[in-house]
Amino acid sequence: MGFPAHIQSDVHDTRLWFDRCHSDLLKPPVHSAAPALRKGTNGFHSTRCKIRCHQGDFRRRIMKTLEYVFVALIVILVGLLILDSGVLEPRMVLRIASDPENRAVEPLIQDWAEENDTDIEITYRSSTAITRELAKGAGTDFDAVWPSSSLWIALGDPQKVVQHETSVSRSPVVLGLRTSIAKELGWIGRTDVNVQDIHTAAKEGKFRLSVASATQSDSGALAYFGFLHALSNTSEALTMETLADPAVRDEMRDLLAQVDRSAGDDDWLAQALVDNSAAFDAMINTEALLIDANHKLIAEGREPLYAIYPADGLALADSPIGYISKGDGDKETKFLELRAFLSTPEVQDVLSGQGRRVVSAGSDTPDPTIWNPDWGIDLARSLTPVQTPSSEIIAEALRLYQTDLRKPSLTVWLLDVSGSTDGTPIQEIKDAVGALLDPDAAAARLLQPSPRDVTILIPYNHNILDPIVIAGDQTAESEQARRLIDTLQADGGMDVFYALYEGFEAFRPQAEDGTLADFLPAIIAVIDGPSDTETRTPLLAHMDQTPYTRDIPIHTIAMGDADPDQLAQLTRLSAGRLFTGSTDLAEVLWAARGYN
């Protein structure tokens, strides 16, 4: 890196001064004793040598001193010049909270940051977590947010601290249906399939429908608001009167009752469909994730999904990025430069390659391997999404979903209290379950129970302890359960396979009276350390011989030295998810709760 011209001139002048000093020092010094010495005889040569030696020593000392002075001056001058040039000034840092869907463009963002003398720190969080972060207003540590939908900014930013909000890409929320089923229904090529048609077909058992949670996922939330618009028969923004309409509530409750599988994450739901064809026929998800799932299905020689765009109630994931205003003009300018970069063909082509719709791709010709019309993908379709409601309407609609309208959950929690949990692990389990049962903490995460939910807590080691049952949203029962959990002691061996058998048995009453289909059932097992395996084979045989167990996903939470290979087989068999609880167990329990 070269210095500016005025700095180079200063260095040149310093060098000239040193050269003049050096030249003067090389001249012999004049001594008054020299003439007398020249007149002497015997001591003449000896004295002259001594004088010359003294002169040499003197010159060397002066030269060495001046060299030190010169080096010091150069160091000082260079330091001043570096400070003047700003090289040592700390680089500007932009901290962005982003939905994980944007990972693919981070390398391009980091290259841009390096070229623009900026540090960009991207923290990946779910859009719902970004919403909770926005509730801090200008007090958040982040400078910008990039969720999957503007819905989450509208919900989380009542203080209106987010500015310069701009969509980076778009992806409509669609019904992805096995192509053969779409043909049977006569939906291939149709553009008039509406929400009521989807509701009727699901209710008649034409397909098994999977939809992610509206309070924990992007596609689930967007689909839910699209459904509300369609069922209320309005093109205007939703109102409190619409949400209070008993007819709208009844229809929405019945539509959500057709959901066979839920999830807390859009990507996981799409991958689960790919991995478990026996459990899934259809999913409501973004167009981009449908395209990604189809690539995987085709690679395995399996039937792809066909995209159905609801004629009413269409919703869009618009991937907005926005700046959090804190009064820093320089940082705001840098953000705007970054936002402009995200609209360049270089970035937009990467997003388009993911199946996300963009406005400035490098090519005008869509890639048919991505935008495949045989999959129902329709780029020519006019996308007119439903209006985003106010933050108050969004909050009330999501509260209604969680506490009233969604299909109720029947959840069995298996809690490891074996000897391996002694000390810190069992205390972490107690604290995490206590937080899970705290109504205020649940409400903050939009995970509060509904009056129709059933929660069963089963502590286990090599055997099982007395189950604790919580019916609905009973606060007194939850508080009693927290007190009982707090008395648990770590002891004994550990057999998660036997605990799972007993967990399945907890569903037997509903399976036998025919009400299990009225719930979203799940087992969530917390496991610390490797399990005994003597009962593994009997458990697998029991699952194979007991039909109702096949519809119950097993989600596992691995703590400590739990064997992930042991747990992965169980989650694969049941289309469940393996979580890792090695960092913040309470957050992992919340995440698992969002899957049911």
Q: Which of 392, 421, 443 is the last residue of a domain?
A: 392
Q: Evaluate if residue 262 carries a pLDDT over 80.
A: yes
376 within domain boundaries? no
Per-residue pLDDT tens for 75-108? 666 555 655 554 556 789 999 999 999 999 999 9
- Tell me the backbone φ, ψ of residue 578, rounded to 5 degrees: -95, 120
CA distances from 67 to 21, 70, 80, 93, 552 (A): 11, 5, 20, 41, 83
Q: Evaluate if residue 50 carries a pLDDT over 70.
A: no
3-state secondary structure of 451: coil
Angle at 268 between CA 264 and CA 271, to 5 degrees: 150
3-state secondary structure of 199: helix
Q: Evaluate if residue 14 carries a pLDDT over 50.
A: no
Cα distance between residue 451 and residue 472, in whole Å: 4
Sheet containing strand 162-167, strands side by side? 118-124, 92-98, 144-146, 320-324, 162-167
Q: For residue 411, what are the contacts with CB-CB under 8 A and spacing of at least 6?
A: 453, 454, 455, 456, 521, 522, 523, 524, 593, 596
> Band of the pLDDT at 10, cuts 50, 70, 90?
very low
Same domain (yes/no): 312, 325? no
Least confident of 35-39, 87-91, 94-98, 463-467: 35-39
Per-residue pLDDT tens for 110-121? 999 999 999 999
> Band of the pLDDT at 66, cuts 50, 70, 90?
low
- Residue 26: the pLDDT is 45
Sign of CA dihedral 8, 13, 17, 22: positive
Domain span holding position 278: 171-317+385-392
Per-residue pLDDT tens for 347-377? 999 999 999 999 776 567 889 999 999 999 9
402 within domain boundaries? no
Residues in a beta bridge with 174: 285
* Mean pLDDT calculated for residue range 143-163: 95
- Residue 32: the pLDDT is 44
> Band of the pLDDT at 59, cuts 50, 70, 90?
low
- Residue 352: the pLDDT is 93
The torsion of the CA quartet 575, 578, 584, 587, rounded to 10 degrees, works out to: 0
3-state secondary structure of 271: helix
Q: Both tokens of residue 133?
A: 């972060």
Same domain (yes/no): 412, 326? no
Helix runs in 372-507, H state only:
391-400, 424-436, 439-444, 475-486, 496-505
375 within domain boundaries? no
Cα distance between residue 538 and residue 523, in whole Å: 18
Same domain (yes/no): 106, 186? no
- Residue 543: the pLDDT is 92
Tokens 């502590």: give the residue. 459
3-state secondary structure of 468: strand
* Mean pLDDT calculated for residue range 54-70: 64
Per-residue pLDDT tens for 436-454? 999 999 999 999 999 999 9
Average pLDDT of every residue of the chain: 87
- Residue 514: the pLDDT is 94
- Residue 395: the pLDDT is 95
DSSP 357-409: B-SS-S-SS--TTTS-GGGT--TTS---PPPP--HHHHHHHHHHIIIIISPPE
With CA atoms as reference, report the closest residue to 168 among 322, 320, 385: 320
Q: Which of 30, 51, 85 is the last residue of a domain?
A: 85
* Mean pLDDT calculated for residue range 487-498: 94
Same domain (yes/no): 182, 259? yes
The answer to whether the beta carbons of residues 432 and 589 sit under 8 Å apart is yes
Per-residue pLDDT tens for 525-575? 999 988 998 999 999 999 999 999 988 999 999 998 888 888 888 898 888
* Mean pLDDT calculated for residue range 508-526: 96
Least confident of 60-69, 158-167, 402-411: 60-69
Cα distance between residue 34 and residue 32, in whole Å: 6
Least confident of 65-69, 231-235, 271-275, 394-398: 65-69
Give the domain CATH number at 480: 3.40.50.410
Hey, what amino acid is at 239? T
61 within domain boundaries? yes
Cα distance between residue 454 and residue 424, in whole Å: 29
CA distances from 520 to 141, 223, 338 (A): 38, 19, 43
> Band of the pLDDT at 467, cuts 50, 70, 90?
very high
Same domain (yes/no): 421, 496? yes
Cα distance between residue 44 and residue 364, in whole Å: 99
* Mean pLDDT calculated for residue range 484-493: 94
Cα distance between residue 239 and residue 394, in whole Å: 10
Q: Evaluate if residue 279 carries a pLDDT over 70.
A: yes
Least confident of 276-285, 344-353, 517-526: 276-285
Cα distance between residue 393 and residue 243, in whole Å: 8
- Residue 2: the pLDDT is 47
462 within domain boundaries? yes
Same domain (yes/no): 329, 304? no
Give the domain CATH number at 256: 3.40.190.10
> Band of the pLDDT at 196, cuts 50, 70, 90?
very high
Would you tell me how many other CB atoms lie within 10 Å of the CB of residue 596? 24
The torsion of the CA quartet 511, 213, 280, 542, rounded to 10 degrees, works out to: -40
3-state secondary structure of 169: coil
DSSP secondary structure code for residue 544 in this structure? H
Same domain (yes/no): 79, 193? no
398 within domain boundaries? no
> Band of the pLDDT at 201, cuts 50, 70, 90?
very high
Same domain (yes/no): 106, 60? no
Would you tell me how many other CB atoms lie within 10 Å of the CB of residue 456? 19
Least confident of 59-63, 144-148, 527-531: 59-63
Same domain (yes/no): 70, 9? yes
Cα distance between residue 89 and residue 95, in whole Å: 18
3-state secondary structure of 416: strand
369 within domain boundaries? no
Same domain (yes/no): 311, 212? yes
Would you tell me how many other CB atoms lie within 10 Å of the CB of residue 98? 24
Hey, what amino acid is at 542? H
Per-residue pLDDT tens for 494-505? 999 999 999 999
Same domain (yes/no): 431, 575? yes
Same domain (yes/no): 241, 340? no
Q: Which of 37, 61, 85 is the last residue of a domain?
A: 85
* Mean pLDDT calculated for residue range 179-194: 96
Q: Evaluate if residue 265 carries a pLDDT over 90.
A: yes
Q: Who has greater pLDDT, 421 or 2?
A: 421
Cα distance between residue 100 and residue 493, in whole Å: 39
Would you tell me how many other CB atoms lie within 10 Å of the CB of residue 16? 9
The answer to whether the beta carbons of residues 207 and 181 sit under 8 Å apart is yes
Cα distance between residue 461 and residue 171, in whole Å: 47
Q: Evaluate if residue 435 carries a pLDDT over 60.
A: yes
Structural domain tally of the chain?
4
259 within domain boundaries? yes
Q: Who has greater pLDDT, 16 or 159?
A: 159
